[in-house]
Amino acid sequence: MSFVNSLIDLWHTTGIYGFLQAGGWRNLVMIGVGLLLIWLAIKKGFEPLLLIPIGFGAVLTNIPFAEIASHTVQILASDGTVVTEKFGGFIGQFYDVGIASGLFPLLIFMGVGAMTDFGPLLANPKTLLLGAAAQFGIFIALFGSVLLERISGFSFVEGPGNTTLAKSILHVAGSIGIIGGADGPTAIFTATRLAPKYLGPIAVAAYSYMALVPIIQPPIMKMLTTDAERKIKMEQLRYVTKAEKILFPIIVLFLCILLLPSATPLIGMLMFGNVLKESLVTDRLSDTAQNALMNAVTIMLGLSVGSKMSGDMFLKFTTILILLLGLMAFMVGTMTGVLLAKLMNKLSPKHPINPLIGAAGVSAVPMAARVVNKVGLKSNPNNYLLMHAMGPNVAGVIGSAVAAGILLALVPILGIS
């Protein structure tokens, strides 16, 4: 009899048994989603550096009983000291140390800065406006989230209709809105401070839309532009001196310190990484920031984001709604970038810009710029827009960080703690 009981106990530890339990189908669905992301990365080439870790993290976290994504449990002892009662799974520890603390986004921004050439932006400063315009979707989604709760009665936050609830609604709305910047590190950094409860779906949405830029953006770009506009060839960019490239990150950092300190962590790390690159006397540090460190953090961050795609947490109406609002924000950001470029051509017809580069204002670097170049080449095989698109693209990185700083600054201004 004991042998039979042992077999039963063993059966209860198998993955098959776990999948057969109530809700087990959700884990199977999310494993399928994880495998789909891996397939898109390998077969279609959609941001493989992001989608393979995220997809694999989703597969690992949905394995029954493995607790790979479980979090470290700490308790407060009688003498006031914090005692670790149970360490979490290895991906859960990645999440606790790097995502929940906001550390990984800052390290990613340093690596992005070390890989970024602000030359195209400095050569054509008006493209900074396109990067700013593409952040419009962030605030549309913010107000849309608040409006949705007011009109429909649906609430992201469970609780009585009191002041605390109203504050929480703004927190969540701001975190959802930042998805529109298509900047995963910025979305994570903002959500950890405003709505940590929804950090998982917000991070997944932001990184998913970054990876799906080649699918989402081209139809919008073609819808808003004519064939003649897509064929516009832009003037060759002027030469940018080394002094300009070194002074730019320092000036931007000081402006941020003076005007928007809440954005300083993101802007500061971005500009620090760029100074490492442009100074030419810190090659070893620059190489580490943009290669070894960046790659290691990307692996841990991707697995951590994927760990939030567990069936019980992800397959909820609230999560689906966050994904849809984030998609709306991203699409609006793409549209406003293109439309502003068209407006700029109306105001300055002597020096036209190809409206397609406005779509690169979302900060999915460099994927958005590559998509702009690809769409432009389809209309005119001799029209190379990549370097022109990099201007608004890197401006979008700065713009999304500034937008995050504005959202974080609005909290104390509105009396929200």
Q: What's the whole-number mean pLDDT along residues 221-246?
A: 91
Cα gap 307→316, rounded to integer Å: 16
pLDDT of residue 166: 45
**Which DSSP helix (H) or strand (E) runs through 75?**
strand 73-76
pLDDT at 412: 54
326 within 8 A of 206, measured Cβ to Cβ: yes
C-alpha dihedral sign at 172, 174, 177, 183: negative
Scanning the structure block, which residue is given the tokens 């394995």? Answer: 63
Model confidence over 2-54: pLDDT tens digits?
A: 777 778 778 778 887 888 887 788 999 999 999 999 998 899 888 888 889 99
Q: Is the pLDDT of residue 295 over 90?
A: yes
Higher pLDDT, 36 or 319: 36
User: By the 8 A CB rule, do 46 and 212 touch?
Assistant: yes
Residue 338, C-beta contacts closer than 8 angstroms, at least 6 positions apart: 220, 221, 224, 225, 355, 356, 358, 359
Q: Bin 260: left if φ > 0, else alpha if -120 < ψ < 50, else beta.
A: beta
Least confident residue range of 254-263, 308-317, 398-407: 308-317
Local confidence band at 414 (pLDDT 50, 70, 90 cut-offs): low
DSSP E strands in 235-342: the ranges are: none
Per-residue pLDDT, 161: 41
85-89, 174-178, 395-399, 408-412: lowest mean pLDDT where?
408-412
Q: How far apart are the first and last CA of the chain?
A: 60
What's residue 409's pLDDT? 83
Confidence of residue 159 (pLDDT cuts 50, 70, 90): very low
Contact present, 44 and 50 (Cβ < 8 Å): no
> Would the pLDDT of 172 be above 70?
yes
Average pLDDT of the chain is 85
Q: What is the pLDDT of residue 211?
A: 81
Number of residues that this document lists for the chain: 417
Domain-wise residue ranges, the chain: 2-89, 103-413
The angle at the Cα of 122, spanning 114 to 409, to the nearest 5 degrees, equals 70
The answer to whether 118 touches 314, Cβ cutoff 8 Å, is no
∠ Cα 202 402 141 (to 5°): 45
Q: Where residue 88 falls among pLDDT bands split at 50, 70, 90?
A: confident
Query: Which tens digit of pLDDT belongs to each residue from 126-139?
Result: 889 998 888 888 88
* pLDDT for the residue numbered 416: 47
Q: Which of 346, 329, 338 is nearest to 392 (CA)?
A: 338
For position 19, what pLDDT does the model report?
82
Average pLDDT over every residue of 200-218: 85
